[in-house]
Structure 1
């Protein structure tokens, strides 16, 4: 009799243990892993408020904006502007009352035909060279100017290119980090799907890295075609810039905006005349 009672107790214990084990397995499957939860949070950028444009005024006709195009702040070729010349350029803008825009402000200006009461420019740098933080950034801070750096996703931390830490330091002080694709390939030589991947992967990277909605794309080497324009829109950008010369206007299409290339050899005064001529 004792043996029968012991066997019944043992069977009950086994069934109870099995039920508990099944409940634990079910519970473990229903709880998301910490790593998965973190990734889910990181791909949903914070929605930043639109700029305060309450004091802006209507433009005379369609808005036109000089988007200045720099690359390296150094010496050596036609894409490099020496530090002293860059300082003179920024000083001229400061002394003549120019307002330096964020990409978000530029978008509103170009789409709504409204602008601040001051004259405006959007300052941009392509490629994300280290000298942007070492040479340009201190000058921009001195004159309290905003600017935009178009960074190549897969070049972050590479030789002569910005690190994530450097970009985040600048982003905290008025420098916007936007997309120059993942690998800096000439887009018009890629298939539509390859183009979209270059753009979408870069946007996703910077959205996550900076908690933003990356809104502007710069086409590498200025190369693009009809498929590029479609891919830029499909990837979620609000606008894209080219290397076509002149002031930007929505008449060019928001994914084909022109820029004002700044080459070496211009003093502050020559730079000023250049900007004024662009707008005339």
Structure 2
């Protein structure tokens, strides 16, 4: 059975472009994105669409590419590079950010969709789901889905948890709202069976070099152990944080 690594990107900048310090860790330069895509191409690793999970006949490792938040760089920088290499991707805009400065417009979302890329929801306002009431979670899920579906005239079945944060109650609401699959920011590889409701992703950061990506794609033992330990520590921290809010 094929193994899937989902690479998750956020904002992409050009050389010498100002980067807000608040978002620096999840911002990478255009030259780095080019190196990442070139590496995937050179290693001859198939890039699949998330909709292909249950239908793929690929064996071995494959990659999927996602972009969270809906930054303008999705269209200005990422789209031309995706075209260059013939890769597909899934974009998760925050609905209330659409048409705002620094983010994609509805026209650009239509362009991404027309170019064959998938559009999913990243929530209405990008709020941390575990901190919301049931009604607030329901509104974030339902309203964002309805707006996207009305605009695109297509079903929207993919949801990306803001901050990668969710509980089992939140997940239940996601499925009840009509989403068929979710993506988290928990590190790990996925089976290409289409049976997983929540898919793991690797959050690409400003420090993620092409060399680091190559080690990951080649299954370097120490690299995998390091990221799995980080993922376990993050998961433990989030559980402690949620428990503290109960007191």
Which TM class, normalised by the smaller chain length? 0.7 to 0.9
3-state SS of paired residue (1:66): strand
Gaps of 5+ in 2: 225-247
Cα distance, 1:189 vs structure 2 = 0.8
**8 A Cα contact 1:124 1:150, kept in partner:** yes
1:100 aligns with 2:47: yes
Partner of 1:67: 6
Matches within 5 A, 1:256-267: 256-267=198-209
Say if 1:73 and 1:135, in contact at 8 Å, map to a contact too: yes
Q: Which runs of 5+ in 1 are unaligned?
A: 1-58
* Superposed displacement of residue 245, structure 1: 1.0
1:185, 1:233 → 2: CA distance? 18
Residue equivalent to 2:158: 216
Instruction: Quote the offset at 1:207 in angstroms.
Output: 1.6
1:78 matched to 2:25: yes
1:179 partner SS: coil
1:117 offset after TM fit, Å?
4.9
8 Å Cα contact 2:3/2:62 also seen in 1: no
Counterpart-to-counterpart distance in 2, 1:117 and 1:278: 19
Alignment-derived partner of residue 238 in structure 1: 180
Q: In the TM superposition, what are the counterparts of 1:1-280 in structure 2 within 5 Å?
A: 59=1, 64-74=3-13, 76=19, 77-106=24-53, 108=54, 114-117=56-59, 119-249=61-191, 254-277=196-219
What is the CA RMSD across the aligned residues, in angstroms?
2.3
CA distance in 1, matches of 2:80, 2:220: 27
User: Normalising to structure 2: TM-score of the pair?
Assistant: 0.79
Give the deviation of 1:205 after TM superposition. 1.5
Aligned counterparts of 2:121 and 2:174: Cα–Cα separation in 1: 11
Cα 1:250–1:121 change in 2 (3 A) is closer
| Structure with larger Rg | 1
Q: Is the 8 A contact 1:99 1:118 kept in 2?
A: no
Contact 1:67 1:123 (C-alpha < 8 Å) held by counterparts: yes
* TM-score, structure 1 as length reference: 0.70
**What do the CA deviations read for 1:144-179 (whole angstroms, capped 9, x no partner)?**
110011111111101111001111112111221110
1:73-111 per-residue CA deviation (whole Å, 9 max, x = no partner) reads: 1274110011100000001111122222222113x25xx
For 1:112-136, what per-residue CA distance to the aligned partner results, in whole angstroms no more than 9, with x for missing partners?
Answer: xx53257421100110000111111
